[in-house]
Amino acid sequence: MISWLAANWGNILVILIVTGLLALAVFTMVRDKKKGKSSCGCGCAGCALADKCKGAKGAK
């Protein structure tokens, strides 16, 4: 087992970093959604789906 870990420590490190970044991205998206922030970063005025957006009702 130790020899396998020693042989694959680089892959394990990369997987842990990518998993951490993915978890951070999901956490940030959930937090922003709870705060009512838009995920696209732009206003609703130019959006083709503005009438379907829940957040756009208050902006109209």
pLDDT, tens digit (0-9, with 9 covering 90-100), for 10-40 = 999 999 999 999 999 999 989 988 887 766 6
Residue 60: the pLDDT is 44
How many residues does this entry show for the chain?
60
Residue 42: the pLDDT is 64
Q: Which residue has the tokens 């842990």?
A: 16
Residue 35: the pLDDT is 84
Cα 19 from Cα 27, distance rounded (Å): 12
- At 30, list the tokens: 């959930």
Q: What is the pTM of this model?
A: 0.60
Under the banding of pLDDT at 50, 70 and 90, the label for residue 47 is confident
Q: What are the boundaries of each domain within the chain? A: 2-59
Residue 26: the pLDDT is 95
